[in-house]
Structure 1
Amino acid sequence: MSNDLSITFHGAAGTVTGSCMEFCHEGKRLLVDCGLFQGSRTLETLNRSPFAFAAGDVDAVILTHAHIDHSGLLPRLVAEGYGGDIWCTPPTSDLLEFMLADAGRIQESDTARRNRRRDRADQPAFDPLYTEEDGFAAWRQSKTIDLKQWFEPVPDVRARLWNAGHILGSASVELEIGGVHILCSGDLGPEHKAFHPDPESPAGFDHVVCESTYGDRTRDHLTIEERRRLLEVEATGALARGGNLVIPVFALERTQELLLDLAALINAGKIPSVPVFIDSPLANRATTVFSKYSEALEDIDGHVFDHPAFHYVEDVNESIRLNSLTGAIILAASGMCEGGRIRHHLKHNLARRESTVLFVGYQAEGSLGRTLLDGATRVRISGEDVAVRAQIRRIDSYSAHADQNDLLVWLEARQPIAGSLFLTHGEGPAIETLRRLSQARSFAQTIAAPAMGETYQLGSRTAAKRIKTGDPALQAVVGRDWQNSYADFATHLKAELAQIADADARMKAITAMREVLASYREARSAHSRPAAGH
């Protein structure tokens, strides 16, 4: 038995992105996940912050699944000197080939676009976080292992992967380190998830790390047929209005689930056989991986992804031509509307009363998708103000995450937990609600909601001990940030000034706002000046 085992939470603590846990034992470092922060611009600045460890000092990485919020910083880790294996399931490795390279392309293209913006002409140029080649380099370091097979990612550390039921290839990670037995849930799937069986893993651990994305909400546990009826209602209503049905999608899993259901509804005559455009090269490539594993997947009947109504869009010019269409269904990434082709579809459809935007996935606090769901009447996209006149709709039944009831059932099945339960990968209210419910059920000696940067010592059959507190500066970037508030303020400013009837009064309002800004600049300047006599 060793008492020098520790876990540090470098992301997905108080937020749902940036998953990265570091286990240290006898001089060895093992990472479980190394994900990208997504959401507000301020939160995304963490992607450029130095790692809390030297990349070359990491001995192994175990990846739970291919979603970018779990894998998206691997290219940077490799570029900065990590040369070890990235252990994962075979489907995850196949998906990473496309996911990480695409993430690099997006980094390069988004950086180039931001540098071209006229409102940034007097600002220093951005460099991409990493490149497409960096993504390929990280994928080439992936090493596959089948579910339920023991392996040693580093000497004297045993690990097994278990089906997490979240997306293709997703896994929970079982670890035995220095006589301590640990389970990291990864992202867990819900009951009745398309394609995959329900999550499974052993029971009886010293410590469990559990995701909490939907820890504060429950959903109706719908069958696939019931879910399709909801999609039928939304699609029929949207197409009856005469405009486009625009669906922001996650390229991996959500796109394929929607295609499964749209094909079934079209074949049954439940919705019109209109063109369905899948405007995401990444989603198109991910779909080929699903086809590769189709015989092992549930719910697939025939060559569903080859339906004649489906049109896979690759070329940028073809994507742009979709802006002139009406009466079509357009699936485009990214799912939270923070990048990718969905943004130009929103620019061309949000102002159209006949169009509908249908959300089918989680929208993180601070993201454009959350802003739209929260009822914004104007939004700012790529430096332009856009009025929101389209119908904004939502279906919750497509979530790839377990809801509160699913999480409680999963935690009950992991009993007994002799030491501590850590609740991660959730926003504050979700984690706190699940913490209270878990406490009432006595799921563990202690139940912790770790902050980013916190370190805990882990022992056998004993509660974890916090040995390093989190960094307050990291906590400050979680949630809605000043740029969200600025975008909301800027998009409404002209209209609000126009409501002031008198031109003189409008000028006074503008002058007053300038004086407020000047007072903050002067206060900062005074604070930074040395005191007299120094």
Structure 2
Amino acid sequence: MDQALTFHGAAGTVTGSCLLIEAGGARLLVDCGLFQGPKTVKELNWRPLPFDPRTIDAVLLTHAHIDHAGLIPRLTREGFRGAVHATPATIDLCRFMLPDSGFIQEGEVERLNRRNRARGRAAVTPIYTRADAEAALQHFRPLPLRRWLDLPGGTRARLWNAGHLLGSASVELVLPGGATLLVSGDLGPGAKPFVEDAEAPHDPDWLVLESTYGDRERDDPPPAGRRALLRAEVQAALKAGGNLLIPAFAVERTQELLHDLDLLMERGELPAVPVVIDSPLAAEATRTFRAHLKDLPEETEPAETFLAGPNIRITASVEESKKLNQVAGGMIVISASGMAEAGRIRHHLLNNLWRPEATVLFVGYQAPGTLGRLLVDGASEVSIMGQEVAVRARIRRLDVYSGHADRQGLLDWVAARGSVRRGVFLVHGEPEARAALAGALRQRGLAVDLPEMDSRYALPVEGPARPRGAAARLPPEATHAAFDWHNERAALLLELRRRLEEAGDDRARAALLSRVRAALRGSADAPAHQIEGR
């Protein structure tokens, strides 16, 4: 078998990280993550996997985020019998993150099937269940940083700190014959509260590099400056009179926010208002962070009571979460998910978005097509769980908590690797971000490829990688699209409802509906090229 690298995710899109390496007669995966974003992309989670899980010999997992780890339970359910190698902290996080992902999917499918029954449609099944996720955890094996691991087929691997998340790692692979492949994973920005700065080996032959912020640079302040910016946002939200909602990933982002809020309130820089962590997952994550405190950098500055101030409360039950909707102002609610795509934050948005006095503060990257992206891009109306909601709340964004290196950080990390002898593959970025970073790397004399979904490259013993085509599950225009037809349909229905409400009388409304029906009949009768040109 020739050595080859295939990009089964995060290629032409940001999520769904999954690399297949074929070498020495073995098949290895780096990551196996869920797709997020527009429904057209998310539907890949339900489609048949692009490889037979029974033929995969081992998995190397860069970190615990669901867009990197979230399809491992499906992999094991469908026949994978090898080991999943990850750092001890990543395994500890996956012990509750993967079962929680299964639980969320069961709940979402249950709600969908209730609607399907009412519509006379067939029932669907979850991608995997909580039980599937718990069974998958039996395959996980701890691999400390910098310790060599012999893999099937003669490949050797070791992990390096990536500085992105507690336990996150870059993966160094030495293939049979001696060529090296370095997979960056997600790289942190440096100076994060709970992780050390990223590092990695020098002079790889090939580099697979993330490009999430490849087209922008952030002026990330030091910790005191970051807290000052957060203080200003909280003060403005409290002055507005409503609640402050912060959609945040339950793991690390929530702990970083708690860490800063706790310090600000201890020092009297903010009033000690109620801070509610509405996420059982965040409670588990916080316990894991405490367990790994000994592994954190010495300069970490925990609050007096680490992530457990007297006014901080974590809700455990759905009933407790629902009671929060009775409070109209003066409360900070941090709830998952960070892109507002699932979880309890959607219920809080449903209850607060229409309130002018409320504030929604986004503190991380928002993938195209997500509810979070729609809100930060200025949507005036959105659909949440089938309900149309006017957006009157204050929508704010604070980018100083990003877990990703910016453009300059990525370029500096690549420069620190020395020479990349045979080429760079850019993944995990929107088209504009990948193109901008590719241009900067090419100016530095590096050969750069921009792989698309399911594209395959031969990795010869000598010379550059050679494209070998792709059996793409989605065309590039679908993976690149910020919004798909599902988003367009939702926007059209919201606009139609608004136009009907604004019409002067029933005669005007009937005339509008008549024109819509005529347009639909005309589109159905028109040739395809005429419809596309409209």
For the criterion TM > 0.5, the same-fold answer is: yes
Contact preservation (8 Å) 1:276, 1:310: yes
One-letter amino acid of the counterpart of residue 271, structure 1: L
In structure 1, what is the equivalent of residue 332 of structure 2? Answer: 329
Q: Please provide the CA RMSD for this pair.
A: 1.7
CA distance in 2: counterparts of 1:82 and 1:337, whole angstroms: 31
Aligned positions of 1:433-444 closer than 5 A: 433-442=436-445, 444=446
Alignment partner of 1:23: what SS?
Answer: strand
Bigger shift: 460-469 or 218-227? 460-469
One-letter amino acid of the counterpart of residue 323, structure 1: N
- Tell me how far 1:259 sits from its aligned partner: 0.6
Q: Paired residue for 1:304, among 303, 306, 311? A: 306
Contact preservation (8 Å) 2:70, 2:101: yes
CA distance in 1: counterparts of 2:17 and 2:261, whole angstroms: 32
- Tell me how far 1:503 sits from its aligned partner: 4.0
Whether 2:422 is the aligned partner of 1:419: answer yes
- Tell me how far 1:473 sits from its aligned partner: 2.8
Alignment partner of 1:190: what SS?
Answer: coil
- Tell me how far 1:303 sits from its aligned partner: 3.4
CA distance in 1: counterparts of 2:349 and 2:269, whole angstroms: 26
Contact preservation (8 Å) 2:210, 2:426: yes
In structure 1, what is the equivalent of residue 489 of structure 2? Answer: 486
Alignment partner of 1:357: what SS?
Answer: strand
In structure 2, what is the equivalent of residue 160 of structure 1? Answer: 158
Contact preservation (8 Å) 1:87, 1:145: yes
Alignment partner of 2:338: what SS?
Answer: coil
CA distance in 2: counterparts of 1:495 and 1:49, whole angstroms: 36
One-letter amino acid of the counterpart of residue 65, structure 1: H
Contact preservation (8 Å) 2:13, 2:428: yes
Alignment partner of 1:208: what SS?
Answer: strand
In structure 1, what is the equivalent of residue 433 of structure 2? Answer: 430
| 1:53-82 deviations in Å (ceiling 9; x for gaps) | 100000000000000000000000000000
One-letter amino acid of the counterpart of residue 163, structure 1: N
Q: TM-score scaled by structure 2? A: 0.95
CA distance in 1: counterparts of 2:374 and 2:117, whole angstroms: 22
In structure 2, what is the equivalent of residue 239 of structure 1? Answer: 238
How many matched pairs? 521
CA distance in 2: counterparts of 1:485 and 1:246, whole angstroms: 26
Alignment partner of 1:205: what SS?
Answer: coil
**Kindly, what percent of the aligned residue pairs are identical?**
47
In structure 1, what is the equivalent of residue 318 of structure 2? Answer: 316
In structure 1, what is the equivalent of residue 532 of structure 2? Answer: none
- Tell me how far 1:458 sits from its aligned partner: 1.0
- Tell me how far 1:152 sits from its aligned partner: 1.2
CA distance in 1: counterparts of 2:411 and 2:89, whole angstroms: 28
In structure 1, what is the equivalent of residue 61 of structure 2? Answer: 63
One-letter amino acid of the counterpart of residue 451, structure 1: E
Alignment partner of 2:151: what SS?
Answer: strand
| 1:425-452 deviations in Å (ceiling 9; x for gaps) | 001000000000100011x2x2001000
CA distance in 1: counterparts of 2:210 and 2:70, whole angstroms: 18
In structure 2, what is the equivalent of residue 530 of structure 1? Answer: none
Q: Paired residue for 1:29, among 11, 20, 27? A: 27
One-letter amino acid of the counterpart of residue 343, structure 2: G
Whether 2:204 is the aligned partner of 1:202: answer no
- Tell me how far 1:193 sits from its aligned partner: 1.5
Aligned positions of 1:84-103 closer than 5 A: 84-103=82-101
Whether 2:338 is the aligned partner of 1:339: answer no
Q: TM-score scaled by structure 1? A: 0.95
Tell me: CA distance 1:219–1:255, structure 2 relative to 1, closer, same or farther (3 Å).
same
Q: Paired residue for 1:150, among 145, 148, 151? A: 148
Alignment partner of 1:196: what SS?
Answer: coil
| 1:24-65 deviations in Å (ceiling 9; x for gaps) | 123210000000001112211000111111000000000000
In structure 2, what is the equivalent of residue 402 of structure 1? Answer: 405
In structure 2, what is the equivalent of residue 229 of structure 1? Answer: 228
Alignment partner of 2:159: what SS?
Answer: strand
CA distance in 1: counterparts of 2:361 and 2:273, whole angstroms: 17
CA distance in 1: counterparts of 2:260 and 2:356, whole angstroms: 26
One-letter amino acid of the counterpart of residue 164, structure 1: A
- Tell me how far 1:153 sits from its aligned partner: 2.6
Aligned positions of 1:267-306 closer than 5 A: 267-298=266-297, 299-301=300-302, 302-306=304-308
CA distance in 1: counterparts of 2:471 and 2:430, whole angstroms: 16
In structure 1, what is the equivalent of residue 509 of structure 2? Answer: 506
CA distance in 2: counterparts of 1:180 and 1:265, whole angstroms: 50
CA distance in 2: counterparts of 1:524 and 1:345, whole angstroms: 45
Bigger shift: 511-520 or 330-339? 511-520
Once superposed, which parts of structure 1, at least 4 consecutive aligned residues long, lie more than 6 Å away? none
Contact preservation (8 Å) 2:24, 2:153: no
Alignment partner of 2:124: what SS?
Answer: coil
Q: Unaligned stretches of 5+ in structure 1?
A: 526-534
- Tell me how far 1:472 sits from its aligned partner: 7.0
Q: Unaligned stretches of 5+ in structure 2?
A: 529-534
- Tell me how far 1:232 sits from its aligned partner: 0.1
CA distance in 2: counterparts of 1:120 and 1:337, whole angstroms: 26
CA distance in 2: counterparts of 1:271 and 1:125, whole angstroms: 50
- Tell me how far 1:126 sits from its aligned partner: 1.9
- Tell me how far 1:252 sits from its aligned partner: 1.0
In structure 2, what is the equivalent of residue 13 of structure 1? Answer: 11
Contact preservation (8 Å) 2:262, 2:309: yes
Contact preservation (8 Å) 1:192, 1:221: no
CA distance in 2: counterparts of 1:450 and 1:519, whole angstroms: 39
One-letter amino acid of the counterpart of residue 92, structure 1: T
| 1:199-251 deviations in Å (ceiling 9; x for gaps) | 00111011000000000010002111110000000001101111100000111
In structure 1, what is the equivalent of residue 370 of structure 2? Answer: 367
One-letter amino acid of the counterpart of residue 11, structure 1: G
CA distance in 2: counterparts of 1:89 and 1:417, whole angstroms: 26
Q: Paired residue for 2:136, among 110, 135, 138? A: 138
CA distance in 2: counterparts of 1:474 and 1:165, whole angstroms: 33
Contact preservation (8 Å) 1:87, 1:153: no
Q: Paired residue for 2:357, among 354, 367, 373? A: 354
Alignment partner of 1:508: what SS?
Answer: helix
CA distance in 2: counterparts of 1:198 and 1:20, whole angstroms: 24
- Tell me how far 1:122 sits from its aligned partner: 2.6
One-letter amino acid of the counterpart of residue 358, structure 2: S
In structure 1, what is the equivalent of residue 51 of structure 2? Answer: 53
- Tell me how far 1:408 sits from its aligned partner: 0.4
Aligned positions of 1:209-220 closer than 5 A: 209-220=208-219
CA distance in 2: counterparts of 1:155 and 1:81, whole angstroms: 20
Whether 2:472 is the aligned partner of 1:471: answer yes
- Tell me how far 1:519 sits from its aligned partner: 3.9
CA distance in 1: counterparts of 2:282 and 2:146, whole angstroms: 29
